[in-house]
Amino acid sequence: MPSTAPIVKKASALSKAAVVLGVIAFLVLGTLFFIRPTTVSTGPDQVALHYSDGAFTPRRFKDCVNPSTRAWDGPGDKHFAYPSSQRNYVFGEGGDRGQVTFVTKDGIEMSVDGVAAFMLNTECQTLRKFHDLIGNRYVAYMDSTDGNGSVGWLRMLSVYISKPLETAIDRAGQNYTYTDLYMDPNVKAQWERDVLAQLPDLVGRQIDGDEEFFVDFAITLQKPTPPESVRAALVSQQEAVARAKAKEAEAAAQVKAAQAQVQVERAEAAKIAERIKVLGRDGYLKQYAIDKGLNPYQPNTNSVITDQR
């Protein structure tokens, strides 16, 4: 019977070789994991910040990536994308936040919908400071290339845009009465300009340092609305004013009609006076009677034959 020892030894050697090959493959895959390059692809309205962050390198800022750019960087590097086009912060129904409320000069609380437009300052070093101070803290960088902001971006805006916006609207609203803001479009337009004038400074106060992280502001405010009870009172007031104006118009029309009638009568009187001058009083009266279908020549007793007994 042949010995099985050579077969066992061969199987053992193959097993050891397999283990060695497995270890080598694991090491190769692990090395590839750590040394594979990273890639970034920015959209047409995006820029990105590039930071080194490999397994054996500290996280450090490297450079900025321009819009519409695809680049490959070192293993483990990080890229943080931000918008380079105008952003809109919508407040009101279906917006990024609810309506903004404010109090008018005469103490009425009103609500307003609108849009605050702005741009993020994407000058490279300014954007880097924004990311280090704010963007990274709120995870405000974009999480896709479709132009939409992340949840962190909206959370950041709720602090750095929403709060100053509330203050600007409230301060400006305290200069006007609710009826002027609600009913006069010129006053509403001036109030809108007042809000825009205050907004950049109020946003800047939220930021440490002199950097302007947000620029090129614009504001669009819809017609502000008072509470329902106040609106109902305004409607009643407007209806009462309309009724009063209608009565005034009717009275004015009656006065004009009376004045016109007086003018007609004066003209007729003047006409009669001229005819009297021509015909004499008796002649005018006879002619008047004839014009009216009457006989001015009635018999009189002076021509009647009397009884001569």
The pair of three-digit structure tokens given for residue 237, joined into one six-digit string: 């007031």
DSSP state of 133: I
**Which element (helix H / strand E) includes 219?**
strand 214-221
- Can you give the pLDDT at residue 30? 46
**148-173 as b/e, with b when 16 or more CB fall inside 10 Å?**
ebbebbbebbeebbbebbbbbbeebb
DSSP state of 147: S
Q: In whole angstroms, what is the distance from residue 80 CA to residue 63 CA? A: 11
Q: Among all chains, which residue has been given the structure tokens 């132009």?
A: 147
Per CATH, is 86-226 categorized as 3.40.50.1400? no
Q: In whole angstroms, what is the distance from residue 195 CA to residue 114 CA? A: 12
Within 10 angstroms of residue 24's Cβ, the number of other Cβ atoms is 10
For residues 267, 272, 278 and 281, what is the CA-based torsion angle, rounded to 10 degrees?
-160
Q: Which residues contact 115 (CB under 8 A, 6 or more apart)?
A: 88, 89, 90, 91, 219, 220
Domain limits, the chain: 36-84, 86-226
Per-residue pLDDT of the chain in tens (309 residues, 90 and over written 9): 555 555 555 556 556 665 555 655 554 444 444 455 678 888 899 999 999 876 666 778 888 999 998 888 777 788 999 999 999 999 999 999 999 999 999 989 999 999 999 999 999 999 999 999 999 999 999 876 555 568 899 999 999 999 999 999 999 999 999 989 998 999 999 999 999 999 999 999 988 778 899 999 999 999 999 888 776 666 666 666 667 777 777 788 788 888 888 888 788 888 888 778 777 877 777 777 777 777 666 666 555 555 555
